[in-house]
Amino acid sequence: MIDPEFDSLEPAIDPSHKISFLLDWELTMKCNLDCSYCVKGLYGGHDNTIKHPSKQDCFDTIDFMFEYVSLYMQHKIPSLRMVILNVYGGESLHHPDIVEILKEVQKRYREKFRLKFSLTVTTTTNAIVPTKKLYDIIPLIDEFTVSYHSENTDKQKKIFKNNLITLKQANKRLKCVVLMHPKSDLFQDTTQMISWLSENSIQMLPRQLDHAPTQTQFNYNQDQVTWFKQLYQTKSYKKDVVFDPKKVEEKFDLADTGRACCGGRSFCTDQNHRSRQFFVTNKFPDWYCSVDQFFLYIKQVNGEIYVNKDCKMNFDGKVGPIGYLQDAQDLLIKTAKHLTQESRPIIRCKKSRCLCGLCAPKAKTLDKFQQIMAKFQA
């Protein structure tokens, strides 16, 4: 593994895009789509053999998440006491009780936590939702991150477009993540979707497919790699690019080259705040990382609690959960204790790649890490 050419990485200073605390709540594993690049199974992207979690279990999880994040907010400067609750799946809007669950999120936040931190409720959804259900959900969600899947049927693509127009007309904050499929005709389909989004003034973020190194069918050819590089360097989506489906070229695993932030943030390296980058090396062997201070991931179907949905690093230098929902109170006590220690436990990366969590400040040495983190802490 090759080390990065820099010794620290952090989000660029951007008052309009402050780094907040992301509560990733994987509400259900069921999904109404079955994309080829979405791994099936308990630890994949969806599994329709697993039942939806009960409504009461979800209500209990809301209490835990808000209590947990309140502990971290006590140690952040006031301007960064911002929490984003991302409700997703599987497909979270596919849960039969989603409207009641979202109502309870709003109710419990207002009753007990509204003075402790600001809350933005968002959902990551494929937007293939019946119109009536969407209208019930709209008042309960502040921000929609929708994902476009080129493998959808023509009927599903029509529903997708209609629902995005509905969300826009409802004046909801809306962003579309376009998952760029490497199959040539589907890559062309995604570029056409980018054009449609642009014509309708809908914010978008083209994104590479994350996949295991063994899934070489999702690697990109040289033309596509060049397209991505131009995207990250210029923020120009090159809507006029045409790809020849018959052209056969060597394929590349783009994740071996680097990665962009899931949320579209820019980065600074080596504390050089005058220079911004959108695509950076994503391998940090033994680096010190603040991922626990900006993320929490709840896997509702089996009760596992992690600091982050992709890296899943814990404080013991291993990949694994930091606790379980059935022992939620014990984890709250443990967390409160370690946050008040003079030398807090710090996560050191043992992963081969950084995916979600790339935006969490990190550094090669402890001294530099602590120097960077000082500006985030009260």
Region of 19 (left: φ > 0; alpha: ψ -120 to 50; beta: rest) is beta
DSSP class of 40: B
Of the candidates 53, 144, 162, 33, the one whose C-alpha atom is nearest the C-alpha of residue 100 is 53
Instruction: Give the count of beta carbons closer than 10 Å to the beta carbon of residue 48.
Output: 14
Of the candidates 208, 198, 145, the one whose C-alpha atom is nearest the C-alpha of residue 176 is 145
Instruction: Tell me the pTM.
Output: 0.87
Q: What are the pLDDT tens digits along the chain (378 aa)?
A: 467 889 999 998 887 778 899 999 999 999 999 999 998 999 999 999 999 999 999 999 999 999 999 999 999 999 999 999 999 999 999 999 999 999 999 999 999 999 999 999 999 999 999 999 999 999 999 999 999 999 999 999 999 999 999 999 999 999 999 999 999 999 999 999 999 999 999 999 999 888 777 888 889 998 888 888 777 666 544 444 444 444 445 666 666 678 888 777 889 999 998 888 888 888 999 999 999 999 999 999 999 999 999 999 999 999 999 999 999 999 999 999 999 887 789 999 999 889 889 999 999 999 999 999 998 888
Q: What is the pLDDT of residue 185?
A: 95
Can you tell me the distance from the alpha carbon of 346 to that of 344, in angstroms, rounded to the nearest whole number? 6
Q: What is the pLDDT of residue 281?
A: 86
DSSP string, 64-88: HHHHHHHHHHTTB-GGG-EEEEEEE
376, two tokens: 């985030």
What is the CATH class of 18-242+290-356? Answer: alpha beta
Q: What is the pLDDT of residue 251?
A: 65
Let me know if 7 is exposed, middle or buried by CB neighbors in 10 A (0-12, 13-18, 19+). middle
Q: Which residues of 303-332 are buried (b: 16+ CB within 10 A; e: fewer)?
A: bbbbbbbbbbbbeeeeeebbbebeebeebb
Instruction: Kindly list the domain boundaries of the chain, sorted by start residue.
Output: 18-242+290-356
Instruction: Give the count of beta carbons closer than 10 Å to the beta carbon of residue 213.
Output: 11
- Segments of 69-138 assigned E as strands: 82-88, 118-125
